[in-house]
Structure 1
């Protein structure tokens, strides 16, 4: 199928943000279901559980080596301290004799200190033992670095594959969502979920996954070493842990709603920016720059306030934890010093314990600071999950019907009823038949249901009751792809993507030769202006089609539809952007190309559909008149009044 992006029907619920100065309504915010969303985010990682197991093993190895380091350095400190102390004791006596001598001299405190060391009287520092310990420490820290580096490398792969899969799921989900979903959502809001929020989830996992595993393992490993060295000092060091937990929980509780507000405000601001960018010309034409800037300022202020509060509140975790860590350090140093003086513990053990206390509070501080990232990441994940959980269009039949071969193009609406809103009737019990090769023109005032008929035919919306058949086959029993592959569609709102003119023309057709493309371009009068361009059909246009005129864009979409060679053509005010001379040429081309095809033409300019086989006049979702141009004018009914009003307007304009 060759089609521009479907336009919102006039009777559909109003879209927010699909046009310049669209609705700036702010969606309601709800608290993050942190536990449920976190559990679901972990479920997303399940395909990577084998690699996660390897990451955990590497983390255990890295942490085990890191935890061993302070203890080995403590042994090095003991070697140095014992050597210094031993040189100060008289040579030729044992340690016990030296201690007894010190007590006899009334130096009981020094005697207690010596008794708690491995000092040998008269013997200095054992540099061979010291060298061996330092070499071992170097090996331990190098090994820890290598294990940590490999862990980080694997974590990056896990996170990127997970985010890649998430993007694929979101892309697939967007293709399964009904048109009504996009009618209710701001385009910028959807884009923010697909881009910003997924990126934020990836950054959160990247920065927390490996670090969280390492931090938890470090806490466990350090705790074991602390109790092994001194249970008393370990209990002293743990005094600040409950306080840290309470402080972190209180800060997180206050920062969580701010992160929700931050990402909701980001989505609203992106939606507004996208609207203002795509409709900047219209904003200037109607003099709404100040309003647009003011709306931007208000929403930017909201984002600033939410971001400032979220970052400031969560940012207090680090200084609070730092204060508690320093308090813990002072307590451990004082108690440890007293224990060394009493000979109950060696100086190296105290040094190692102080390092362990730092290592113990550091991962706790890191875990606490990760709450900042996790709150932000889970808030974004929930927004992505909301998109993934949105109600999808009804699935295609499990055993779809076969498309008639060949497709003749007989379309029948049989007692069709449809409502966008259950409380507001639109189309009620409508029946019509389009015979193969006929051109059916649909006219009527805005909101009459003209575009709705086309949306029902394309199955952008599902009928409420009745059915639509293609060559006698209920379209609901066909897959959407099979149905839409038989329909070429050109809308009033043109859609082009960034690429060459040739790529845009051949977008809806497969295995097209250059000759076929040029033939279609010539038939729709595209070739005449393409030949004037420096690069011809290889001219690159941007995704807004800004370097071609509105009429030329419309001609390109018409050429795209014709090249697809569909059995059914849908033209929704397809010549509205074409100048009068080109319109005549396009009408002639369409007359030739419509031969043998069933065509539905939605038109406001009645002069463009005089040659239609059947003209349907719709009002309030019902067909009030049908016939050809001459018969309807002669009848003097609704069509005649519409035609007369346009003719009178044209005369008044000329006068």
Structure 2
């Protein structure tokens, strides 16, 4: 059993005793679905790659429009709408393939996470049936139920959303970086300057919010346990005149749950607007430099539009990974 603090929960800041062993067991659980997980990885990467190629092709359409307008002013034939139509048709096919791949990997991953959750709950139920009675004297019913419901649900949600999110985000970062370098190494360097600032802010927020998330999950179990036991043993509470003590204990734990819940949500909610602000600074720098390079004929006008989209796509997965 872990050490218990004054609020009958694990001591604040306590770390997992065997994190590597736990992850190894989880990987063993997921090993049964390794074929399905392989397809999830393939489809997730495929969906992301098609999305990454899109802005580059869209930039060609923008360049074609700009070239046609300039040519018309100079007495040329004007915009080649047939060529633009072909470019847009190619772009539509890419995005349709991306959406299809994303749907397939989401469908497979949802099935895997639900099967894993069902198997885990079934094994927890079988384990509880084998536990000695003194185990239930050490933990409240609410804490046990919270482990079966809340904790398993959290794991299921993380597997269903966060696992594929990490795959797509890492693929996006690598792919977008390659595309940005292909357009302009100088503009890429300017865009990358926002990374140290972003990572510094993320580390500060994550470090502060994690302890509140831990406290939230811990005291959720305490409050559930108190509610279940007080309602189940209402006559005993009345017989021993423990109403005030019970209310006091509930109010204390509920206040801690409230404080940790709003602080964790507030801090994690700050991450996105802060990252967007830092990203906008990089966006402005890229636009100014891109306009200068276009005037110097170093890059095309459509490349500026593509690069701006890539800057947005580059900062977004960093935010997503941090949120995970």
Give TM-score, length-normalised by structure 2.
Answer: 0.92
Q: Are 2:278 and 1:338 aligned?
A: no
- Shift of residue 235 of structure 1? 1.4
| Match among 170, 188, 192 for residue 234 of structure 1 | 188
| Match among 42, 63, 86 for residue 78 of structure 1 | 63
Match of 1:56 in 2: 41
Which structure has the greater CA radius of gyration? Answer: 1
| Match among 197, 207, 231 for residue 253 of structure 1 | 207
Match of 1:136 in 2: 90
CA distance in 1, matches of 2:273, 2:28: 33
Match of 1:162 in 2: 116
**CA contact under 8 A between 1:244 and 1:321: conserved in structure 2?**
yes
CA distance in 1, matches of 2:95, 2:173: 18
CA distance in 1, matches of 2:19, 2:311: 31
CA distance in 1, matches of 2:282, 2:7: 50
- Shift of residue 303 of structure 1? 0.4
**CA contact under 8 A between 2:56 and 2:303: conserved in structure 1?**
yes
SS at 2:121 equivalent: helix
CA distance in 2, matches of 1:32, 1:40: 17
CA distance in 2, matches of 1:359, 1:40: 35
Q: Are 2:10 and 1:28 aligned?
A: yes
- Shift of residue 299 of structure 1? 1.2
Q: 1:237 to 1:35 in 2, by over 3 A?
A: farther
CA distance in 1, matches of 2:179, 2:97: 19
Match of 1:171 in 2: 125
SS at 2:8 equivalent: coil
CA distance in 2, matches of 1:253, 1:26: 24
SS at 2:79 equivalent: coil
CA distance in 2, matches of 1:311, 1:31: 21
Bigger relative contact order, structure 1 or 2 (CA pairs below 8 A, ≥6 apart): 2
The count of corresponding residues between Structure 1 and Structure 2 is: 317
Q: Deviations over 1:221-263 (max 9, x none)?
A: 1111111111111111111112222221222122222222111
CA distance in 2, matches of 1:339, 1:239: 19
Q: Are 2:303 and 1:303 aligned?
A: no
CA distance in 1, matches of 2:55, 2:217: 43
CA distance in 1, matches of 2:288, 2:24: 43
SS at 1:77 equivalent: helix
Q: 1:25 to 1:348 in 2, by over 3 A?
A: closer
CA distance in 1, matches of 2:124, 2:170: 32
Q: 1:127 to 1:327 in 2, by over 3 A?
A: same
**CA contact under 8 A between 1:32 and 1:260: conserved in structure 2?**
no
CA distance in 1, matches of 2:222, 2:258: 13
Which has the larger strand fraction?
A: 1
Q: 1:190 to 1:223 in 2, by over 3 A?
A: same
**CA contact under 8 A between 2:9 and 2:219: conserved in structure 1?**
no
| Match among 351, 362, 365 for residue 305 of structure 2 | 351
Q: CA RMSD in A?
A: 2.0
Structure 1, unpaired ranges of 5+: 1-23, 92-121, 371-655
CA distance in 2, matches of 1:69, 1:28: 49
CA distance in 2, matches of 1:356, 1:35: 36
**CA contact under 8 A between 2:140 and 2:229: conserved in structure 1?**
no
- Shift of residue 302 of structure 1? 0.8
Q: Please list, as runs of the form range in 1=range in 2, the aligned pairs for 1:203-222 lying within 5 A after superposition.
A: 203-222=157-176
Match of 2:151 in 1: 197
Q: Deviations over 1:446-499 (max 9, x none)?
A: xxxxxxxxxxxxxxxxxxxxxxxxxxxxxxxxxxxxxxxxxxxxxxxxxxxxxx
Q: 1:38 to 1:338 in 2, by over 3 A?
A: farther
**CA contact under 8 A between 1:240 and 1:328: conserved in structure 2?**
yes
CA distance in 2, matches of 1:328, 1:41: 39
| Match among 152, 157, 161 for residue 106 of structure 2 | 152
Structure 2, unpaired ranges of 5+: 1-5
Q: Please list, as runs of the form range in 1=range in 2, the aligned pairs for 1:190-589 lying within 5 A after superposition.
A: 190-370=144-324
Q: Deviations over 1:66-119 (max 9, x none)?
A: 111101110000110000001111x4xxxxxxxxxxxxxxxxxxxxxxxxxxxx
CA distance in 2, matches of 1:223, 1:25: 48
